[in-house]
Amino acid sequence: MKTISSVVENYIKSKPFLLNSLAQGIINLTSLARIMVPELEKELGKDIKQGAIVMSLKRLSEELDFKINRKISKVLMNIGEITVRSSLSDFAFVVSDTLLENQGKLISEINKHQDVFYTSSRGVNEMNIIISTSYSHLVENFFSLEKQTLHLENLSSITVKLPQDNISVPGVYYYIFQKLAWEGIVIHEVISTTNEFTIIVSDEQIDVAFKVVKDLKSIQE
């Protein structure tokens, strides 16, 4: 059976940015309740008093602990090395029978150079390669017969080393990417390993993105 409390909770949970604003105490609950009334009345099929929604919001803020979880805070405060790289290019290719063979040739060649940045990720239907722009001609050479779906330049990367306990704490990546999205950062690619992740953004947004990531280390519980 649907109750006012349950529909209020579902409404808030479906809007991450709204939840984050409530956590920071920057939303007037009365004004929010007024906005929510029509949708909640439609959901319940009956009239709802604005005061009842306000009470549910107050109760929900306490039960769900809108403020950042202490475990997440601990992980973020223990973020390790943050590395920034610029002058990168991003390629995407459709997965084919010859893709891995050509990737092997590319890796053999770039292993001869110590100053090159290279990373790749493969999905079900496509593979991405991110490489120092000065070596992008190697990708164009070895993958000339592959079907290319994307080629972007003027990109930068931020690589973050996370503490080992990040794998046992839910919500770490959610919180990080929420902060980036809040600042309007467009993430072109995400590459991650067990205790490290790299985001690819445009050169124009690298300074803001770096500040967001750097400031995570000073987050308060």
| Integer Cα distance of 53 and 11 in angstroms | 11
The pLDDT value given to residue 59? 81
Average pLDDT, stretch 60-79? 74
At 14, the pLDDT band (50, 70, 90 cuts) reads confident
Long-range contacts of range 35-40, CB-CB < 8 Å, 24 or more positions apart? 36/8, 36/11, 39/11, 40/4, 40/7, 40/8, 40/11
The pLDDT value given to residue 23? 65
Mapped onto helix, strand or coil, the DSSP state of residue 79 is: coil
At 180, the pLDDT band (50, 70, 90 cuts) reads very high
At 64, the pLDDT band (50, 70, 90 cuts) reads low
Average pLDDT, stretch 40-69? 81
Q: Give the pair of three-digit tokens for residue 35.
A: 């906005």
- pLDDT tens across 126-172, in order? 999 999 999 999 999 999 999 999 999 999 999 999 998 888 888 88
Element (H, E) at 137: helix 136-142
Average pLDDT, stretch 28-36? 90
75 vs 65, 96, 163, CA distance in Å?
18, 39, 6
Please give the share of the chain, as a percent, with pLDDT higher than 70: 91
Regarding beta strands 126-132 and 82-94, do their DSSP bridges make them parallel or antiparallel, or are they unpaired? antiparallel
Q: Which of 131, 110, 130 is nearest to 121 (CA)?
A: 130
Rg (CA), the chain: 23
Q: What CATH superfamily classification does 76-218 receive?
A: VC0802-like (3.30.2130.10)
